[in-house]
Each structure stands twice: as structure tokens, then as C-alpha cells.
Amino acid sequence: MKRFIVPLLAAVMVVSIIFAGCMPTAAPSPVTPPEEAGEVNIGFLCALTGADAGWGLPGVTGNQLFIDKVNAEGGLLVGGKRYKINMILYDDEASGSKALTGARYLVMEKDVKFINSIGGQCADSTHPFLTEHKVFYAPLISGDIRPDRPYLIGGGDANPRGDMARTRYIREHFPNAKRWAETSQDDIGGYVTSMYEVGGAVANGFDIVYNKYFDLATTDFAPIVSAILATKPDVISWGNTYPTYVTMLYEQCYLQGYEGVITCNYIDYEATLARVPKEYLHATYGIDGYPEFDDPWWDNPKLWEPDGRQHQFYEDWMARFGPGAPDDVGRRICPIDWDHVVMTEVWAHGAQIAGTFDPDAILAALKAEPYTPTILGPGIWWGTKCFGNDNIIQPPTYICEANADGVRRIVDEIDFPPYYETIHSTVRAWMEEYEIAWWQKMGLPECPEYAR
């Protein structure tokens, strides 16, 4: 039986109701019509320019689709009143100092209640301020979650769960692959995420033959790929490398004749296909964890009952932002278009069921649900062993490959929490060895008992 269909009938009924539409489910309607109450602001504090913009800028589109739908229906119904949502953009350029400046602006001048972000060094810079002011911060990098950041929530992105899950998928589907090479940019997001993935690779029996990180100023990736190929890897992972760098690394593998498996947290297929033939992308499998919403997989997923939201998102996006559409963005739809909206919808849903914008009440209401709806499928709140608290929403984890046409397609769907139990001790030991486990970053002498 499917993972999310087994629990009590009441839980099934909850899931059926909350998946009925794209707008989050409200608390029971008041007896009197809701009164117009005004507006609520959210922030989009991401890299909108530079090498990291591929994880930020496209996400504006998905958020805007959601916001416009909610506002067209009268706004969020919170505590019997309607609130129109405004999204305020701030380009942090993947800089910690600029992210802190942006956070202060969004909170002190715009009174935002929720912030989308990419994370990494930006999360490290902003979390003391945002914790003090009790503002939700939702990074794509879930590895930023830890107990001293009570309002940092994540899980809409595959990071780093998908990175660990891909190691199992590759072990099972490429049994002759033994040698694993890993690289990413030398920053917090690249380094820590890649270390989770390398820990997963070790737990799945791979020999790590290359594990180095390149400078953010790198423009010539030929020497890096040459050094990797000298180790004769069967699998090369770009880890959590910025999309702009991924395309250049992929191109060098093509030019230098690499014939093994290539995997990555996120591969910008459109940009990569501008540098390598679709036959090469398919031959190296191009494995990542970010599905397309026109994928036939959504008609019959493994772990939950289909609801049509993914195809609807695709159709709505194409009608608004696709070729010839009113707001044509001049590119094809990509997974980052939906990536940020996952947590935006979770926050909005939480505010409605809590009946307030108070963050503590929202978290309590969300965690009291048997499942929380997301566009990726119903999710549970999880993460204590991995991140120190359960502030991560865990929908199914997806594995994608490039097909013969160079199109990303889902090839597997994984229930991550039970899988993580099988690799936890190895991953934890690996993180401890490199002194980047969450408790070490908090200055604790050892892993707390509750997270062992």
C-alpha cells in the first residue's frame, strides 16, 4: 500500500481535502463573511543576479502564480479576515552581508512575515536577526536547519536529502560503478551539501577518489575536470554547484571524453544543452532531483494518490510566462520555477489553519497535522536526527534522469526518512570528522542524545 494511504481514515480525509486546490486550505469558515483586513508582505531574498541566480530568479514566477491566485480569490483567510499577499524582491547576490542588509530592510521597513531564500552563507548571516524578530526564513538549502534557528524552515528543495538519495539510486542501478568523484564551489552551501552527499556515497559502498572544492572566481574549468578524470571515476557529482558552473563543468566532461555517470543537486538542462549534445546528456544520465511538472509520472506516483496540481502548475506557468504568453520570460519552464513556492504555500497554509500570522502558532498548527500539503506531494515534519529539529517538511524525494530527447524525467520516488535511518551513522561520522555537523557548528562538544 502507498506510504500516505495507510494511516487512519481521518488522516486520509484531511489529505483529500487539502489537496483539492492550489490555494492552502483554510480553517473552518466563520459564520459571518470574512472582512477585508488589508495586506501581508513576504520577502524574496535571493540571488537575482550572478552565478547563483539560477537558484533564485526563476522562483519569482512560481511565487507570483500562487500569490495572484490567492489574491484573485480574496486573499488569505486568516482569523476570519482576508489578507492580500505582496511579494517584495531583494537581490542578495549570494553575499552574506548583502543578505543581512536585505533582511533588515524587509523586516524593519516592510514588515514581512516570511522570506524565501537560497541559504548557505546568507542563512548564517541573517539567522540571528531573523530569530530575534521571529520571522520565517525558508532556504532551499535544508542543511541550514538547526535547533538555534527556530524559524528557519525548509524541505521544498531536494537539498541535501536528494543528494543522499541519489547515492543509493546510483548504487542500485549502476552496480559496476565503484569510484566516486565530488566537487563544488568552495562556500558553505557547496561544501556542506556535498559532504552530506559524500557521506551517503560512503554509506553505499563507493570509494571516494576525488573530493575537492573550487574557488568562486573560477572561470576555466578544464584543469578541474582534467584532475577529476585523472582519478578514473565511475561517477562524477557536481554536488550543490551553482547552475552557471554546472554547465561549464558538463561541457568540459564532454570535451575531455568522460563516459561515466554525471549527477548533481540541480542541472539546468536548458543551459547545459546549449553546451553539450542531448545524446551526451542522456549517455551520462544527467541525474538530479528536480522534476518537471509535465512529467507523466505525476499521473501515477508511487507513494501518494495523484491530484493534478503539478500538471495544472505547468499549464498555468506556460499560459503566463511561456513562449508568446503575456509575461514571456524568454526561456522554457524549469524546476526552480516551482522550487520556492513549495514553502510559500506551506507557510500560507499554516497561517490559515492557525488563524494567525504568529510564527509559533503556525509551526504548532502545521506539526499537528498528520500530513502537510505541498505541490510535491503530502509531507511530514521531520529532521531531528539529520538537522537537530523537525523543521523540515518531507514530501517524497525524486530522482530524475535525462531521456533520449534530453528531457528530465522522474525515474524513482523515495520515502527518505526510513532510508536515512540506514545511512545515518555513517553520514553523522563523516560530518563529525570534517567538523561541519550541526551540533559542532553550534559549539556543542558532541551530538545530543536525542539526535543519535
Pick the closest to residue 430 from 197, 272, 148 (CA basis).
197
Could you tell me how far CA 287 lies from the centroid of its own chain?
Answer: 16
What's residue 281's pLDDT?
A: 98
Alpha helices in 33-77, H assignment, sequence order: 59-72
Compute the distance between CA of residue 408 and CA of residue 84 in angstroms, rounded to an integer.
35
According to DSSP, the residues that pair with 89 across neighbouring strands are 44
Predicted confidence (pLDDT) per residue in 202-231, tens digit: 999 999 999 999 999 999 999 999 999 999
What's residue 234's pLDDT?
A: 98
Place of cell 543551459: 271
Domain boundaries, the chain: 9-157+305-395, 161-288+415-451
Compute the distance between CA of residue 405 and CA of residue 391 in angstroms, rounded to an integer.
38
DSSP 420-434: HHHHHHHHHHHHHHT
What's residue 51's pLDDT?
A: 86
Edge-to-edge strands, sheet with 35-46: 76-78, 81-91, 35-46, 114-117, 136-139
* Cβ-based burial of 145 (10 A; exposed 0-12, middle 13-18, buried ≥19): buried
Torsion of CA 318, 403, 307, 164, to 10 degrees: -110
Compute the distance between CA of residue 421 and CA of residue 143 in angstroms, rounded to an integer.
17
What's residue 452's pLDDT?
A: 87
Enter the C-alpha cell of residue 20: 483539492
Q: How many of the other CB atoms lie within 10 Å of CB of 301?
A: 21
Place of cell 512529467: 295
- The whole-model pTM stands at 0.91
Tell me the mean pLDDT per 10 residues along the chain, length 452.
42 34 44 68 97 94 98 95 97 97 98 97 96 97 94 94 97 97 94 94 98 96 98 97 95 98 96 97 97 97 94 98 97 96 98 98 98 96 94 97 97 97 95 91 91 87
What's residue 366's pLDDT?
A: 98
CA of 18: how far to CAs of 67, 75, 196, 279, 397, in Å?
17, 17, 33, 41, 20
Determine the residue type at 250: Y
According to DSSP, the residues that pair with 41 across neighbouring strands are 86
Compute the distance between CA of residue 410 and CA of residue 296 in angstroms, rounded to an integer.
9
State in words which class domain 161-288+415-451 has. alpha beta
Enter the C-alpha cell of residue 146: 538547526
What's residue 2's pLDDT?
A: 59
Enter the C-alpha cell of residue 44: 524574496
According to DSSP, the residues that pair with 101 across neighbouring strands are none
Determine the residue type at 258: Y
φ, ψ dihedrals at 419, nearest 5°: -65, -40
For residue 413, what is the DSSP state? E
CA of 199: how far to CAs of 202, 203, 424, 425, in Å?
5, 6, 9, 10
What's residue 198's pLDDT?
A: 96
State in words which class domain 9-157+305-395 has. alpha beta
Predicted confidence (pLDDT) per residue in 271-297, tens digit: 999 999 999 999 999 999 999 999 999
Torsion of CA 203, 204, 207, 210, to 10 degrees: -80
The reply to whether 161-288+415-451 shares the fold of 9-157+305-395 is yes
What's residue 129's pLDDT?
A: 98
